[in-house]
A and B are shown apart, each in its own frame.
Chain A
Amino acid sequence: MELCDYSALEMVRLLRAGEVSAVDLLDSALSRIEAVDGRAGSLEPGEITTEDRMRVHSFITLTADRARARAQAVDKALAAGEEPGLLAGVPVSIKDIFCVKGTPSTAASRILSTFVAPYSATPAVRMEQAGAVIVGKANLDEYTYGSSNESSAFQPSPRNPWNLDRVPGGSSGGSATSVASGEVALSLGTDTAGSIRQPAAFCGVVGVKPTYGRVSRYGLIAFGSSLDCPGPLARSVSDAALMLQVISGPDRHDSTAANVLVDDYLANIEKGVKGLRIGLSPDYFQISFPDPLTGEYHQQAVPDEIESPVRRAAQLLKEMGAEVIEDVPMPNTRYGIPAYFVISRVEAASNLHRFDGVKYGYRTARPVRDLSELYRRTRGEGFGAQPKLRILMGMYVSAAQYSEQYYRRALQVRSLIRRDFDQVFDPNGKYRLDALLTPTTPTAAFELGAVYGDSVLMQYADQLTVPANHAGVPGISLPAGLDSQGLPLSIQLLGRDFSEAILLRIGRAYEQATTQDDWRNVRPAVLRH
Chain B
Amino acid sequence: MTEYEVIIGLETHIQLNTITKVFCSCKADSWIDLPNTNICPVCCGLPGVLPVLNKLVVEKATLLAEAMHAETRSLSFFDRKNYFYPDLPKGFQISQFDMSLAHGGYLDLPMPQGYTRHVTIHKLHIEEDAGKTVNQHGRRYIDFNRCGVPLVEMVTGPDLRSADEAAQYLIRLRQLLRWVGVSEADMEKGHLRCDANVSIRPVGATHLNPKTEIKNVNSIDAVRNAILKEFDRQVREVEAGRRIESWTLEWDEDRGVLRKMRSKETEADYRYFREPDLLPIRLTDEWKHDILRNLPELPLVRRERFVKQYGLPEYDADILTSERSLSDYFEAAVKNYGGDPKKISNWLMNDVLRMLNERGVSADQLKLTPRSLAEILKLIDAGTINNSTGKALLEKVETTGRSPAEIVASEGLAKVSDDSAIRKVCQEILAENPKEVESYKSGKVTLIGWFVGQVMKKMRGKADASLARTIFEELLQ
Contact = CB atoms under 8 A, between A and B. Distances in A.
Interface string B272-283: 010011110000
Interface string B35-72: 00000011011111111110000000000000000000
Interface residues of B, number: 29
A347 B91 CA distance: 12
B48 A399 contact: no
A459 B279 CA distance: 29
A105 B279 CA distance: 27
B92 A118 contact: no
A403 B271 contact: yes
Which of B86, B90, B92, B276 gathers most chain A CB within 10 Å?
B276
Nearest to A107: B47
Contacts of B52: 252-255
B279 A256 contact: yes
Contact of B84 (A117, A256, A375): A375
B50 A253 contact: yes
Given A220-B48, A359-B89, A371-B86, A255 B271 contact: no
B80 A115 contact: no
Residues of B contacting A: mostly: loop
B311 to A, nearest CB: 53
A503 to B, nearest CB: 25
Nearest to B25: A252
Contacts of A217: 50, 277
Nearest to B91: A353
Contact of A350 (B47, B92, B269): B92
Interface residues of A, number: 44
Contact of B273 (A254, A360, A403): A403
Contact of B271 (A107, A119, A399): A399
Contacts of A255: 50-53, 277-279
A117 B49 CA distance: 11
Contact of A121 (B48, B140, B277): B48
A511 interface: no
A226 B276 contact: yes
Majority SS of interface residues in chain A? loop
B82 interface: yes
Contact of B86 (A119, A221, A349, A356): A356
B47 A398 contact: no
A118 B277 contact: no
B279 A222 contact: no
A358 interface: yes
A58 B80 CA distance: 35
A217 B44 CA distance: 17
A225 B79 CA distance: 13
A359 B90 CA distance: 10
A403 B273 CA distance: 9
Interface string B254-278: 0000000000000001010100111
Interface in B73-92: 80, 82, 84, 86, 89-92
A98 B91 contact: no
Contact of A225 (B42, B46, B142, B276): B276
Contacts of A476: none
Interface string A352-387: 111110111000000000010001000000000000
Interface in A188-238: 217-222, 224-226
A17 interface: no
B48 A221 contact: yes
B133 to A, nearest CB: 10
B48 A218 contact: yes
A252 B20 CA distance: 15
B271 A222 contact: no
Contact of A358 (B41, B48, B86, B278): B86
Nearest to B269: A400
B50 A354 contact: no
A353 B48 contact: no
B47 A115 contact: yes
Given A217-B50, A346-B273, A359-B44, A353 B279 contact: no
Nearest to A98: B48
Interface string A384-411: 0000000000010011100100010000
A398 B92 CA distance: 14
Interface string A247-278: 00000111110000000000000000000000
Given A254-B52, A256-B279, A356-B86, A398 B91 contact: no
A118 B41 contact: yes
Contacts of B47: 99, 105, 107, 112, 115, 117, 221, 354-355, 360
Nearest to B45: A354
A363 to B, nearest CB: 12
Contacts of B50: 217-218, 253-256
A290 B277 CA distance: 32
Nearest to A115: B47
B46 A118 contact: yes
Contacts of B45: 354, 359
Given A350-B91, A356-B91, A407 B273 contact: yes
A153 to B, nearest CB: 15
Contact of B48 (A219, A224, A371, A403): A219
Contacts of B80: 350
B86 A353 contact: no
Contacts of B278: 255-256
Contacts of A371: 86, 140
Nearest to A411: B274
B243 to A, nearest CB: 26
Nearest to B81: A350
Interface in A98-125: 98-99, 105, 107, 112, 115, 117-119, 121
A107 to B, nearest CB: 7
A235 B127 CA distance: 46
Interface of B: 41-42, 44-53, 80, 82, 84, 86, 89-92, 140, 142, 269, 271, 273, 276-279
19 contacts: A99-B46, A117-B47, A119-B41, A218-B48, A219-B48, A225-B276, A252-B52, A253-B42, A253-B50, A255-B52, A346-B273, A347-B276, A350-B91, A350-B271, A354-B91, A356-B84, A356-B91, A359-B44, A371-B86
Interface of A: 98-99, 105, 107, 112, 115, 117-119, 121, 217-222, 224-226, 252-256, 346-347, 349-350, 352-356, 358-360, 371, 375, 395, 398-400, 403, 407
Nearest 10 pairs between A and B by C-beta?
A353-B91, A226-B276, A225-B276, A398-B271, A221-B47, A219-B48, A99-B48, A354-B91, A221-B48, A358-B86
Given A217-B277, A255-B50, A255-B277, 14 more contacts: A105-B47, A105-B48, A121-B48, A218-B48, A221-B47, A221-B48, A222-B277, A253-B50, A347-B276, A350-B91, A353-B92, A356-B86, A358-B89, A359-B45
